[in-house]
Amino acid sequence: MAILDILNYPDPRLHKVAKPVKEVDASIRRLIDDMRETMYDAPGIGLAATQVDQHIQLLIIDTSETKDHLQVFINPKIIEKSGVQDYEEGCLSVPGVYETVTRAEKVTVEALDYNGKPFTLKAEGLLSICIQHEMDHLLGKVFVEYLSPLKRSRIKNKMLKLTRHK
């Protein structure tokens, strides 16, 4: 396994739309394992393949306190949404920035798991937020795009300044 580089906003590669995974094979499982190591090392609770410059429909999430309940979503599709909730979100691609975003309170998602087996999951609370946040990455969208143009511009400038000082 390897720790992968996470793209930082406003990197244009974060805006690429991910393509469906054609086959869940050893290379996909290896990427999942590398993403898991990367996410836990960061540390984070979710990571989309887009964030590690792999533009396929794959994301991983672990909202457990013990960090031992990894959930894998390959080719995820939200088939139902309900309710509304505000949540202060952060992102491994926008380090140190936390802003309130409004999302659906509950979602039902269909996807394939680590072995390519289809499943359906009903999620609410933090898991629902995380699924929606990571799925946005697969559409080429970063959470700061829900913010006002002024806030977004300030965050972009802050991130660019941080990149220059590395």
Residue 130 labeled ligand binder: no
Report the side by side order of strands in the sheet with 58-61.
46-48, 58-61, 71-82, 106-112, 118-124
What are the structure tokens assigned to 107, written together?
A: 């979602």
E-strand spans in 104-145? 106-112, 118-124
DSSP state of 19: B
165 is in an annotated binding site: no
Q: Report whether 69 belongs to an annotated binding site.
A: no
Spatial distance between the Cα atoms of 32 and 141, rounded to a whole number of angstroms: 21
User: Is the separation of the CB atoms in 72 and 86 below 8 Å?
Assistant: no
Catalytic residue ranges: 134
Helix or strand or coil: residue 127? helix
Contact 46, 134 (CB under 8 A): yes
Tokens of 145: 């795009």
- Which residues participate in the annotated binding site for Fe cation? 91, 133, 137
